[in-house]
Amino acid sequence: MRLPLQTQILVDEAIESLQSQINDTAIIACSGGIDSTVAAVLAHKAVGSMLHCVYVDTGLMRKNESQEVLSMFSDLGIKLKVVDASKRFFKSLSGVIDPEAKRKAIGEQFIRVFEDEQSRCGAKYLLQGTIAPDWIESGGGERDVIKSHHNVGGLPEDVNLIIVEPLREFYKDEVRQIARQLQIPSSERQPFPGPGLAVRVLGEITPDRVESCREACHIVETRIDEAASLGKCDLPWQYFAALLPVRSVGVHGDTRVHGETIVVRAVTSLDGMSARYSPLPQDLLAEISTEITNSLKGQVNRVVYDITHKPPGTIEWE
Ligand code: XMP
């Protein structure tokens, strides 16, 4: 664990390094997640108005996320431009089933949005909140590609912007410490992947299926937050739902339902590189299951709990 003084040295070094790398307009996509927020705050301190912050609404965000991110940036005193790109993201994902192909399609759309912005503001640099596990799992060094994290291996090759990655050598727990030092309110938020709910909707990505996953994620987050705040369980490191394209027969009242499956995932971890599934209380799981099947009547009729550690599983399902 680093002391506040050591963390301040890291912050000062990161700011100096950004000042030496950036001498013109730089774009950064701010999702509200801790990595991109820390990268944006450091860069804002380093190059001030040369930084152009964009919030890309991909249509793949969690419930209420857009409003929360906008209000956080307004509190941080950083101007954030909103780009509604949901239609183009859904179009590019239409009919795509393979997880790597989805990540590549998402990386590609992000770059096209940045290029549109670039033609408006003349940016030369693209700042990214890439952290060490992202590039390690994307096949950095000698490793096999586990997943092309969209901010690393998911980028197309013809990017016409110089990529700057101030957090490249840091792990999640270190980024959280830097966030606390910078008094960023999202420092205790659970991680959320760059490709958003796309990696939690297995099979075809349609607005309806994303909406089901969004609602299930919201229920899982709300119920677990509530239980943890009442001392009924420890707060897991990450907790969410994924929608599986597995249909099974169920019954609602007197009606047969052939619905899909939601899997609930909750893990403890330090840095996301390895994780253990969280043994949540049975009554909490039962409550979550009932609420999901009631809210998603007709679409989801089965809820399962994932009891896999990482390894051999990964935290997300795709
Ligand atoms: P996995 O699923 O690889 O995830 O065990 C480890 C941590 O990384 C998050 N994750 C991502 N974050 N871009 C990101 O910024 C991505 O493409 C991505 N994929 C996974 C995941 O939520 C977990 O916290």
138 C-beta closer than 6 A to ligand 1: no
| pLDDT of the residue at 180 | 92
151 C-beta closer than 6 A to ligand 1: yes
Atom of ligand 1 nearest to the CA of 191: 24
| pLDDT of the residue at 151 | 59
Q: Please, which residues have CB within 8 angstroms of residue 161's CB and are 6 or more apart in sequence?
A: 27, 114, 115, 118, 123, 124, 125, 126
Same domain for 155 and 255, yes or no, is no
Same domain for 51 and 172, yes or no, is yes
Same domain for 8 and 127, yes or no, is yes
Same domain for 155 and 222, yes or no, is no
| pLDDT of the residue at 285 | 98
Same domain for 163 and 211, yes or no, is no
| pLDDT of the residue at 143 | 61
- Domain membership of residue 288 (yes or no) is yes
Give the Cα separation of 174 and 178 in Å (integer). 6
Same domain for 39 and 143, yes or no, is yes
Domain boundary among 120, 147, 181: 181
193 C-beta closer than 6 A to ligand 1: yes
Same domain for 242 and 177, yes or no, is no
Structural domains of the chain, count? 2
Give the Cα separation of 133 and 316 in Å (integer). 14
- Domain membership of residue 38 (yes or no) is yes
- Domain membership of residue 31 (yes or no) is yes
| pLDDT of the residue at 149 | 65
Same domain for 155 and 219, yes or no, is no
- Domain membership of residue 316 (yes or no) is no
Same domain for 278 and 167, yes or no, is no
Domain boundary among 181, 215, 242: 181
119 three-class SS:
helix
Which residues on neighbouring strands pair with residue 162, listed in sequence order? 125
137 C-beta closer than 6 A to ligand 1: yes
Atom of ligand 1 nearest to the CA of 137: 3
- Domain membership of residue 96 (yes or no) is yes
How far is CA 15 from each of CA 35, 166, 231, rounded to the nearest angstrom? 15, 9, 40
Domain boundary among 128, 149, 181: 181
| pLDDT of the residue at 153 | 47
What is the 253 CA–ligand 1 centroid distance (Å)? 39
**Can you give the residue range of the structural domain that contains 249?**
200-305
165 C-beta closer than 6 A to ligand 1: no
| pLDDT of the residue at 264 | 99
DSSP-derived secondary structure for 43-92: HHHHHGGGEEEEEEE-S-PPTTHHHHHHHHHHHHT--EEEEE-HHHHHHH
318 C-beta closer than 6 A to ligand 1: no
**Could you tell me how far CA 222 lies from the centroid of its own chain?**
17
Same domain for 100 and 135, yes or no, is yes
What is the 122 CA–ligand 1 centroid distance (Å)? 31
Residues making up the chain, counted from first to last: 318
| pLDDT of the residue at 144 | 72
What is the 153 CA–ligand 1 centroid distance (Å)? 13
Nearest CA, atom 18, ligand 1: 193
- Domain membership of residue 233 (yes or no) is yes
- Domain membership of residue 277 (yes or no) is yes
What is the 149 CA–ligand 1 centroid distance (Å)? 7
- Domain membership of residue 41 (yes or no) is yes
| pLDDT of the residue at 155 | 61
Domain CATH code at residue 237? 3.30.300.10
Give the Cα separation of 234 and 284 in Å (integer). 12
Query: Can the peptide bond before residue 156 be classed as cis, meaning omega within 30 degrees of 0?
Result: no
| pLDDT of the residue at 159 | 74
Atom of ligand 1 nearest to the CA of 151: 13
Same domain for 43 and 153, yes or no, is yes
Domain CATH code at residue 121? 3.40.50.620
268 C-beta closer than 6 A to ligand 1: no
pLDDT tens over the chain, length 318 residues:
666 778 899 999 999 999 999 999 999 999 999 999 999 999 999 999 999 999 999 999 999 999 999 999 999 999 999 999 999 999 999 999 999 999 999 999 998 998 899 999 999 999 999 999 888 877 765 567 767 765 554 566 677 889 999 999 999 889 999 999 999 987 677 889 989 999 999 999 999 999 999 999 999 999 999 999 999 999 999 999 999 999 999 998 888 989 999 999 999 999 899 999 999 999 999 999 999 999 999 999 999 999 999 999 999 999
Same domain for 45 and 148, yes or no, is yes
Nearest CA, atom 17, ligand 1: 149
